[in-house]
Amino acid sequence: MNTIQNKTSLFSLVLMTASLILMTSSIFAQDAPAPENSKKILLINAKAHIGTGKVIDKSAIGIENDKIVLVKDALAYTYKATDYDTIIDLKGKHIYPGFIAPNTTLGLTEIEAVRASVDEREVGIFNPHVRSLIAYNTDSRVTPTVRTNGVLVGQITPRGGIISGTSSIVHFDAWNWEDAVYKEDDGVHLNWPNSIEKRGWWAEPGPTKKAEKYTEKITEIEQFFDIAKAYHNQKPKDKESIDVRLEGMKKIFSGESNLYIHASLYREINDLINFKKKYNIAKVVIVGGYDSYLLAKKLNENKIAVILQRVHSLPERPEDDVNLPYKLPKILSDAQVLFCIENSGDMEQMGTRNLPFYAGTAVAYGLDYEMAVASLTLNAAKILGIDHKLGSLEVGKDATLFVSEGDALDMMTNNVIMAMIQGRTLNLDNHQKRNYEKYKEKFGLE
Amino acid sequence: MKIILTFKLIALFVLSTVAQNHFNTNGVHSKNVPHIVFTNATIHIDGDNIINNGMLIIKDNKIVYVGAKTKISDNIIEHDLKGKHIYPSFIELNSDFGITKPKDKPRSNSPQYNSSKKGAYYWNEAIKTEENAIDQYLFDDKEAEKLRKSGVGVIVSNSQDGISRGTGTLTALTDKEHNQIIEGKISSHFSFQKGNSRQAYPSSLMGSIALLRQYYYDLEYYKNNKTAVKTNLTLDAALEQTEFPKFFTVRDKLSILRAEKVAKEFNLKFHYIGNGDEYQEIKTLKENIESTLIIPLNFPKPFDVEDPFDAKYVSLADLKHWEMAPSNPYLLQKEGIQFAISTQGIEKDEDFFKNLRLAVQRGLSKSYAINALTKIPAQIIEKESILGSLEKDKLANFIITSDDIFNEGALLHENWVQGSQFIINSYDVVDVRGTYNLNVNQIIRTLKVTGTPSKPKGSLEYNIVTDSVSASGDLVIDKVTGKPIKTTKEKKVDAKINVSKDFINVSYELAEGSYRLSGNINFDSGSWDGKGQMPSGEWTDWTAIRKEKNKTDAKKSETVNDTIVSTKFNYPMMAYGWDSLPVQRPILIKNATVWTLEGEGKMQADVLVRNGKIASIAKILDVVDKTTLVIDGKDMHLTPGIIDEHSHIAISRGVNEGSHAITAEVRIGDVLNNDDVNIYRQLAGGVTAVQLLHGSANPVGGQSALIKLRWGQTPEKMKIEGADGFIKFALGENVKQSNWGDYNSIRFPQTRMGVEQVYYDAFIRAKEYEKAWQTFEIESSKKKNNAIAPKKDIQMETLVEIINSKRFISCHSYVQSEINMLMHVADSMGFKINTFTHILEGYKLADKMKTHGAGGSTFSDWWAYKYEVNDAIPYNASLMNQMDIVTAINSDDAEMGRRLNQEAAKGMKYGGMSDVQALKMVTLNPAKLLHLDDRMGSIKEGKDADLVLWTAHPLSIYAKVQYTIIDGIIYYDQSRDLQMQKEMETERTRIINKMIQEKNNGAPTQKVVGKKERTHVCTSIDEDEL
C-alpha cells in the first residue's frame, strides 16, 4: 500500500478523537486509578518526541496491554485497521514519553506547614535504612495536579541528615505503593557537606563564608563508609548479627544501587569524585550540581551523571551570569555530561508540575529541544536505572506517555489531553479542575 | 601653612592662683606647681599652623604659653624636644570607654510586648534618653593605655546600646581621677539598633525609624503640654538635652540618609558616626548633609583569594571596597563634606597610624587629617575654647612624636593628658636592630636583630659542619682523601633580647644548653660587650660587633594614586554596577510586533521614544534627529514593562515589622536598598516597576514603596514620583501566627475572629483621632483660642489616610471567609480594599469582590504550602478575570519576579485566556491596581517609555529580554550584559592580583566572607540582623 492510500484509509478508520478520550476517561470513578489495558491501541499522526533525541513528525505508535509494540513513521507505515481495537488520530498534537521527576518529595509531604502531613525527614544522621517507598501516599491530592502537566513518574526521595535514606521510583497512578513502584530502593542519598557556609536563615540569608569544619565532616562520612564497607565485605557465615542500618548500604558497594550525592559547588564535586574512587563505588550520581560544569571532564571520566538543580533558580553569587541557572543544561549538554533535571527547593511538591517548563527555559537558553525532552525522559531513566522500561517511545518499553495539544515544554501550549501509565489511560481530572467548574457554574460563566 | 612667630615675654606667675583644694592632705602640703617647658620642638598648633623650633609651656593642666623661644623664669622643668613634633592630642568621639557593656537581658521564649524597665519611663526600652554615661563611668586603665597609644587624649564615651542612648560624657585619659572629667553630660546619642532591649517592637529597621519619629512627636507634645501630662522621666531628660550635640551611629551609608530624613522632619542636627563606606553615596550625602561625619579608618584587610573557587565568594562589592576604603577620607574632603576621624574599629591599635598615613597617601591633606582628629571634633562638641588646638589657656593635651606624624616610622613618644605625662615610647629607646658578629667564648656567630625598636627580636644564625652519614648510618668517606666527607647545615635559633636604656640582655639556647649574656651598648659604635654565663656554668666575656645597621625602610610613600578613585567608580558599587549612569536619549524601535494592550491588543508598528515618553506609534517613522538610537525589532516583540504588584526585593534589614498587630506607621520607603542585585536580575526579566510591600506578619502592616527599577540610582530616585500611597494588610495564618512556633501564642489575634476585632478597634480609634484633630482645628481658628493640639500619632494618621482614600490597601489574603469579613469591615467603616493580593480563594467570592470593587493580584499556580492554601487553584486568575475583576499575577519571590511573563502565560494554560489578556495581568492590570495606568502598563502615546523588547512571543517560554527600557533609558541590554560580565571578571582579577601582592608583602589577610544577597518573601521575620 502506498502512503496516499494509507492516509485515505486512515481518515475513514479513525474511531476516536482525542476529545472522545477525555469523555471516556470520565466514566471511571473519580480519582480512581485507571484499569488495566487489554486493548491494542494505535496513536497516529502525532509529532513524537522519542526521548532519545529523535523526533518523528508524524508518528504511528502502537500499544498493546502495557507495552509499546510499534513505533513508526506514519508516512511509511501501513496497517490494517482491524489490527487495532482503537485508533486515535492525533494530528497536530505532540506525544512524549512520561516525564520523570527525580529527587522529589511528592507523596511524602502533603502540606508543608502542617507538620502531621510531612513525612520526609527522619531523625538521625546516617539513615540509609530509612525507605521512602512505604510512606509514599498514592492518595495525595498533589499528584493528580502534577500528572496533568505530563509528569507521570517520580523518584520519591527522603531528606535530611547526612544520609537521608533510600529512594524508590514510582508512577503516579496507583491504589497503593506496591502497585506504584517502578523500582524499589533505587539508591541511597548522601548530603555532601557544604564547603561554603551560608549564615542567617532561609528568608534572610546572611553573608557566606568558607565552612570551617568541611574536612572534618568529610572524615565523618568516610568513617561511616569504612564501617559500612567492612560490614559489606565480610562473608555471610561470619556475620555475627544483622545491622539494620548497614544493610541499607549493601547495594551501594555491590553496585546494584546508585549513590546519590547531593552537592553543589566546585570543591564539593571535586572531593566527591575522589570519594567515589576511594570507596570504589560503581554508581554515583550528583544531585544539584550548580558548579558541575566546571568539572565536566572529570565527571565524564568517572562516569558520574548529574541530576541538575531546579533551572528556575537565582544565581548562587551576585557576579554570576544572571541567567546561569537557565544556561546550565546547555553547558552540560555541550560538555556531554549525562544529566536530567530536578525540582527540589521551595514549593517543591506542588511545583513538580512545572518540571516541563524548566526544560523549556533550558531550550530558550540554547539547549536542543529534543535534548531537553531527553533530560526529562530517557536521560532521567538512564540515570535512575529504569531505562529498560521507561524514558522513551521505543518498542518493548512501557506505554507510559502523554499527548499534549501543543508544545509541552511551554506553559502557553502545554495542554495534556491524554496520558497513559503502563498502557492504562489516566483520568486527567483533579480537584482543582472540579473546583474551577463548580464556581464557574455558580457564577454562570462559560 | 603659616608659621606663627611670637616674640612675647610672658609673666608666668600672673596666672597662678591659689589652688582651691577640695582634698584632705595627709602630711605636709605640696604647693609647688612647676612650669613644664618643651623647647626646640616643631609645634603643630592645629592642622594648619606650625611653629618651628617653638616652645610650649604648661602649668598644672593648662597651656600657659605657645610660641617662639622665650626667656623663662625659674621653677621649671625643661624637656628638650629637638627634632621632635608636638601635636594636640586626638579627640575620640565614638567610644564606650569606661562604660560597662550592657548585659544581655534574659531571653524569654514568648515575646515581650511591654517594657521591662520599672519607673515612669518611655514605653519602649530601646528609648533610654534618661541614661547618662557619667553615672556608670569607671576609668579603665588598660583601655586608656591603648587609646593613648593611638594618640587620643580626650574622649566622648557613651553607652552604645539602644535607639536613643542617653548622654555621653567628656573625659580625659589620665589616671588622675580629679582631672578626668571635663564635662559630665556633653552629648546625646542615637542609632537604629534596639540593642539589648527584648521588647518585641521594633523588629525591623523601618520599625526603628518609626519609633524614633513617634518619640520625637511625643516629645513635642510633652514639651507643649508640660502641665497637662503625666511626668515622664525619659521625656524630661530629652528636654534637658535639647541643645546637646547629637551623634547618630549608622551601619552603612544609606542609614545616614535615613536618619537625616528624621533629622529634617524634626529640625534636628545629627552628626553621623559612619562605617567608612560613605564614598559610595558621596554626591547624595553632599546634597543632604550639613552636619559632620565621624569616620573610622578601619580599612578592610585583603581576603585569602589564592584559591580561585574560594575567591568567587568574595563579592565584587567587597573587592572594590577593599580597594576604595582608604580613599574615603580623601573623597569626602574633595567633595567638601566635613568629617572627623575616629580611631575606633581598628583591630590592632598600631594600625591606626598606618591607616592614617595610607589615607594621606590616597590624597587626604595632612592638615585636614590633623584637624579631623583635633579641631573638628572639638568644634562638634562645642569645646573649641579648651580643646582641639595648642593655644594659651587650653587644656594641656598633646602628643610628642619623633618625626612628622605622617612619615613612615614616626614614633609616638609621649601623650600628655591634662598636664600629666604618659610615656609611650621612651626617647631613650635605642634602635639596636641590625646584623652583629656575636663572639662568645671565641666562637663567632651571626646575630640578626629585627622587630621594632622597643621590641627587638633576635635570631642567631650559624653553620654546623658534620660528617656525612649514609642512609645505613655509615660515614661517607671521600674516596680520594679517605676521610669522611663534611657537610654544612645552616642553623637558626631565636635569641631573646631585652634593652633598657644602655643595658642589654641576650639569651639563647643551643644544643648544649642556654647562654645568658648581659652587657652595655656602646652608643657610638653600636656594639655591645659584657659578661655572660655558659651552659656549663662558666662565666665568659662576650662582644657583639655591628656589621650593618637595620636597613631603614627605604620604601617611599606611594605617590597619590588618584586614578583608583576617578576611573573605577560603579553605580552601584557592586556586580553589574554601571561605570556611569545610563542616560535618556530618543529611541526608535522599528519593525517589532507591538503589544500596545490598547484597543487593538497588538500590531506591527514602529515606536518612537522621546524625553522618556512614548512619542508615537506608527507604521513608518523617519528620524531626522541623529542622536536617536534606532533598534531593529524585526521578529521581536515590544511590550510594556512588567509591573510586579507584590515584591520584597531591595529592602534593608527587615521586610516585616512583625511585632505589633498594627504597624501602619512603618514605611518600606524608609529602608530601600539600591544595592540589591535582584534589581538588575529583574530588569533582565523585563520588570520595570514594582510595589515593595511590607510583609504579612500583622493585620495592618507597613506602608509600601512604589519604585521603578532604576538600577544605579539612589533609593529616593527609584521611587515613582507622585504615586499614590499604599499599605499592606494581611489575613489568616501569618497574622494569627499559626506557623510561628508554640511560643508565639500570646499576641492578639490568634484566630480569624480576633482579626476582625483588631480592624474594628483600629478604625474606630482612627475616626476618633481624626475627630479630635478636626475639633482642634475649629477651636484653634476661633478668636479666643486656648485649644490644645492633640498628640500626633503617626499610626493613626496612616489609618485616617485610608479612611479618606488617600492611602490604598493591598491585603494578603487566602481564605474566603476572612476576605468576606474584611470587605464588610471596610464597607462599614467607609473605605475600600483596593487589592486583595495572593487572593487564592478569590474564585470563590469573585462576585462579592466585584461588588466591593476590589482587584485581585494572585499567584499563577502556588498552593499546598500551608493549610489555608489547600483549596487554591491555578484557574483562579482566569475566573477572576472572567468576572471582570482587575486581575494581576505577582511574584512575592525574587526568582519568580524575573519570569512573570511565564507566570502570566499560565493564564492561557489554566482557563484559556487570550495572550493579550494574559499579558495584561503583568502590565496594564497591575498598573491599574497601583493607580499608575495613566502613565504605565500599555504602549500609548504620552505614557512613560517603560518598554521591553523580547526575542520571541512575550508569553512563550522561549522569549528572552533583549532590552528593558525605563523612562526612555536602557537599563538592561542583553549584549551589554555579556560585555559587563567580562569587564567584571577583568576587574575582579585585577583587584585579586593586587590583594595577593599585598599578602605576599606581609599584609595580614581575612578569610573569605561573601555577600549573599537577601531575598524576602512576605513571611520573613527577622530580628537578628536589625
Q: How many angstroms separate the CA of residue B541 from the nearest CA in chain A?
A: 53
What would the pLDDT profile of B683-730 be if each residue is shown by its tens digit?
999 999 999 999 999 999 999 999 999 999 999 999 999 999 999 999
How much is the pLDDT for B552?
52
pLDDT band at B621 (very low <50, low <70, confident <90, very high): low
- Does pLDDT of B74 surpass 80? no
CB-closest option in A357, A412, A439 to B879: A439
Question: Which residue in B has a C-alpha nearest to residue A367's C-alpha?
Answer: B958
Q: Are B900 and B687 in contact (CB under 8 A)?
A: yes
Q: Which residues contact B784 (CB under 8 A, 6 or more apart)?
A: none
Rounded to the nearest 10 degrees, what angle do helices B794-803 and B205-224 cross at? 100
Contact between chains at A318 and B896 (C-beta distance less than 8 A): no
Q: How many domains does chain B have?
A: 2
Contact between chains at B958 and A363 (C-beta distance less than 8 A): yes
In sequence order, the β-bridge partners of residue A262 are A191, A287
- How many other CB atoms are found less than 10 A from the CB of residue B819? 27
Q: Are residues B392 and B494 located together in one domain of the fold?
A: no
How much is the pLDDT for B18?
47
- Does pLDDT of B205 surpass 80? yes
Alpha carbon distance A378, A368 (integer Å) = 15
Q: Are residues B442 and B349 located together in one domain of the fold?
A: no
pLDDT band at B428 (very low <50, low <70, confident <90, very high): confident
The DSSP letter of residue B388 is S
pLDDT above 90 as % of chain A: 87
Average pLDDT score over chain B: 91
Q: How far is CA B94 from CA B205, B313, B1003, in A?
A: 22, 32, 27
- Does pLDDT of B49 surpass 70? yes
Contact between chains at A410 and B957 (C-beta distance less than 8 A): yes
- How many other CB atoms are found less than 10 A from the CB of residue B755? 24
Alpha carbon distance A329, A311 (integer Å) = 8
Residue A116 touches partner B, C-beta closer than 8 Å: no
Alpha carbon distance B933, B40 (integer Å) = 77
Nearest to A97 by CA among A394, A368, A352: A394
Alpha carbon distance B169, B172 (integer Å) = 10
Same fold, A3-97+426-442 and A99-390: no
Q: How many angstroms separate the CA of residue A278 from the nearest CA in chain B?
A: 23
**Which architecture, in CATH terms, is A99-390?**
Alpha-Beta Barrel (3.20)
- Does pLDDT of B4 surpass 60? no
Rg value, chain B, Cα? 36
Query: What string of H, E and C letters represents the secondary structure of B450-494?
Result: EECCCCEEEEEEEEEEEECECCCCCECECCCCCCECEEEEEEEEE
Choose from A412, A432, A437 for mutation: most chain B CBs within 10 A: A412
Q: Are residues B399 and B463 located together in one domain of the fold?
A: no
How much is the pLDDT for B228?
83
pLDDT band at B1019 (very low <50, low <70, confident <90, very high): low
φ, ψ (nearest 5 deg) of residue B941:
-55, 135
Q: What is the CA B980 to chain-centroid distance, rounded?
A: 27
Alpha carbon distance B369, B42 (integer Å) = 17
Angle at alpha carbon of residue B292, lines to B291 and B297, rounded to 5°: 155
Q: Are residues B417 and B525 located together in one domain of the fold?
A: no
How much is the pLDDT for B949?
98
pLDDT above 70 as % of chain B: 94
The DSSP letter of residue B135 is G
For residue B476, the enclosing domain spans: 434-549
Q: Are residues B365 and B473 located together in one domain of the fold?
A: no
Q: How many angstroms separate the CA of residue B1008 from the nearest CA in chain A?
A: 6
pLDDT band at B522 (very low <50, low <70, confident <90, very high): confident
From chain B, the residues in CB contact with A412 under 8 A are: 905, 908-909, 915, 953, 955-957
pLDDT band at A248 (very low <50, low <70, confident <90, very high): very high
Contact between chains at B1013 and A207 (C-beta distance less than 8 A): no
Contact between chains at A350 and B864 (C-beta distance less than 8 A): yes
From chain B, the residues in CB contact with A413 under 8 A are: 909
- How many other CB atoms are found less than 10 A from the CB of residue A96? 28
Contact between chains at B864 and A142 (C-beta distance less than 8 A): yes
How much is the pLDDT for A235?
84
Scanning A401-420 for CB atoms below 8 A from B yields 409-415
Q: Are A190 and A279 in contact (CB under 8 A)?
A: no
The CATH number given to whatever domain includes residue B195 is: 3.20.20.140
Task: State the sign of the Cα–Cα–Cα–Cα dihedral B326, B331, B334, B337.
Answer: negative
Contact between chains at B957 and A266 (C-beta distance less than 8 A): no
Asked which of A83-97, B366-380, B644-658, B783-797 is least confident by mean pLDDT, the reply is B783-797
Q: Are residues B371 and B253 located together in one domain of the fold?
A: yes
Residue A437 touches partner B, C-beta closer than 8 Å: no
B64-97: b or e for each residue (b if 16 or more CB lie within 10 Å)? bbbbbebebeeeeeebebeebbbbbbbbbbbbbb
Asked which of A297-306, A372-381, A388-397, B341-350 is least confident by mean pLDDT, the reply is B341-350
From chain A, the residues in CB contact with B1017 under 8 A are: 203
> Which grid cell sits at B336?
567638601
In sequence order, the β-bridge partners of residue B168 are B187
Contact between chains at B957 and A200 (C-beta distance less than 8 A): no
From chain A, the residues in CB contact with B313 under 8 A are: 196, 208-210, 317
Contact between chains at B915 and A412 (C-beta distance less than 8 A): yes
How much is the pLDDT for A371?
98
Higher pLDDT, B468 or B744: B744
pLDDT above 90 as % of chain B: 76
**Which architecture, in CATH terms, is A3-97+426-442?**
Roll (2.30)
Q: Are residues B404 and B509 located together in one domain of the fold?
A: no
Left (φ > 0), alpha (ψ -120 to 50) or beta: where does A223 sit? alpha
Asked which of A410-419, B337-346, B448-457, B885-894 is least confident by mean pLDDT, the reply is B448-457
Q: How far is CA B211 from CA A178, A389, B264, in A?
A: 60, 65, 16
Left (φ > 0), alpha (ψ -120 to 50) or beta: where does B313 sit? alpha
Contact between chains at A350 and B313 (C-beta distance less than 8 A): no
Residue B822 lies in a domain: no
What would the pLDDT profile of B589-612 be if each residue is shown by its tens digit?
999 999 999 998 999 999 999 999
How much is the pLDDT for A23?
43
Determine the 3-state secondary structure of B166 from DSSP.
strand
CB-closest option in A113, A314, A409 to B866: A113
Asked which of A110-114, A374-378, B425-429, B857-861 is least confident by mean pLDDT, the reply is B425-429
- Does pLDDT of B19 surpass 60? no
Q: Are residues B476 and B403 located together in one domain of the fold?
A: no
How much is the pLDDT for B475?
75
Alpha carbon distance B254, B244 (integer Å) = 25
- Predicted TM-score (pTM) of the model is 0.91
Domain termination site, one of B376, B395, B423 = B423
Q: Are residues B274 and B246 located together in one domain of the fold?
A: yes
Complete DSSP assignment for B859-870: -SS---SSGGGT
Choose from B203, B303, B307, B313 for mutation: most chain A CBs within 10 A: B313
Q: How many angstroms separate the CA of residue B210 from the nearest CA in chain A?
A: 22
CB-closest option in B846, B988, B1012 to A443: B846
How much is the pLDDT for B732?
96
Determine the 3-state secondary structure of B140 from DSSP.
coil
Scanning A353-382 for CB atoms below 8 A from B yields 353-354, 357, 360-361, 363-365
CB-closest option in A318, A361, A439 to B1011: A318
CB-closest option in A114, A210, A357 to B1007: A210
Scanning A183-222 for CB atoms below 8 A from B yields 196, 198, 200-201, 203-210
Q: Are residues B184 and B327 located together in one domain of the fold?
A: yes
Most distant CA pair in chain B: distance in Å?
Answer: 127
How much is the pLDDT for A29?
53
- Does pLDDT of A270 surpass 70? yes
Q: Are residues B335 and B279 located together in one domain of the fold?
A: yes
Domain ranges across chain A: 3-97+426-442, 99-390
> Which grid cell sits at B251?
551601619
How much is the pLDDT for B426?
85
How much is the pLDDT for B209?
98
CB pairs under 8 A between A and B: 186
Sheet containing strand B687-692, edge to edge, reads: B642-647, B687-692, B705-708
What would the pLDDT profile of B829-881 be if each residue is shown by its tens digit?
999 999 999 999 999 999 999 999 999 999 999 999 999 999 999 999 999 99
How much is the pLDDT for B525?
77
> Which grid cell sits at B313?
565568594
Question: Which residue in B has a C-alpha nearest to residue A409's C-alpha?
Answer: B957
Question: Which residue in B has a C-alpha nearest to residue A316's C-alpha?
Answer: B1012
The CATH number given to whatever domain includes residue B455 is: 2.40.128.120
Q: Are residues B199 and B253 located together in one domain of the fold?
A: yes
> Which grid cell sits at B286?
553632599
- Does pLDDT of A100 surpass 90? yes
Q: What is the CA B388 to chain-centroid distance, rounded?
A: 27
How much is the pLDDT for B871?
96
Contact between chains at B575 and A319 (C-beta distance less than 8 A): yes
pLDDT band at B22 (very low <50, low <70, confident <90, very high): low
From chain B, the residues in CB contact with A327 under 8 A are: none
CA end-to-end distance (rounded Å), chain A:
46
Determine the 3-state secondary structure of B261 from DSSP.
helix
CB-closest option in B317, B576, B1010 to A208: B1010
Q: How many angstroms separate the CA of residue B1022 from the nearest CA in chain A?
A: 7
What would the pLDDT profile of A17-49 be if each residue is shown by its tens digit?
444 444 444 444 567 999 999 999 999 999 999
